[in-house]
Amino acid sequence: TQLLEQSPQFLSIQEGENLTVYCNSSSVFSSLQWYRQEPGEGPVLLVTVVTGGEVKKLKRLTFQFGDARKDSSLHITAAQPGDTGLYLCAGAETGNQFYFGTGTSLTVIP
C-alpha cells in the first residue's frame, strides 16, 4: 500500500496552461517535500512545507500544505517545456523514514 497517493499519474498539457498536482494521504506528516526528477537523473528538492496551511511560492510554482497536514498540492502557472519531468511528493511520518508518493509525470508541449 502506498502511504502517499499522487494524482494525476500522467499529465500532458500545452505550453502556457495552468495545472495542479495533488498528494494525498490518510496519515499526518510532520513535513512534506516536493521533488522534480528529469530522465536519467535523481530527484532534486524543490520545497519543504512544515506548517498546516502553509503556502510557498517558487517563481511560477505554488506549494500548499493542507491544514490537517495530510495532503499537499503543487500548482504551476503558465507551464513551460522546462517544467517537464516527474514530480514526487515525500512525507516524514515517523523516525528517520521518508515515504515518497507514486509520482506525477508532466509533459509540457511547446
Partner 1 sequence: NAGVTQTPKFQVLKTGQSMTLQCAQDMNHEYMSWYRQDPGMGLRLIHYSVGAGITDQGEVPNGYNVSRSTTEDFPLRLLSAAPSQTSVYFCASSFDRRGEKLFFGSGTQLSVL
Residues of this chain that bind partner 1 (CB under 8 A): 2, 4, 6, 9, 31, 33, 35, 40-45, 48, 88, 90, 92, 95-103
Smallest separation, CB 100 to partner 1 (Å):
4
Residue closer to partner 1 (CB basis): 58 or 78: 58
Q: Say which residue the cell 522546462 belongs to.
A: 82
Smallest separation, CB 72 to partner 1 (Å):
15
Smallest separation, CB 57 to partner 1 (Å):
18
CB count within 10 Å of CB 49 equals 21
Q: Which long-range contacts (CB under 8 A, 24 or more apart) does 61-64 make?
A: 63/34
Smallest separation, CB 17 to partner 1 (Å):
25
Residue closer to partner 1 (CB basis): 35 or 83: 35
Residue closer to partner 1 (CB basis): 34 or 84: 34
- The H or E element that residue 16 is part of is none
Residue closer to partner 1 (CB basis): 10 or 14: 10
DSSP annotation string for 26-94: SS--SEEEEEEE-TTS--EEEEEE-STT-EEEETTEEEEE-TTSSEEEEEESS--GGG-EEEEEEEE-S
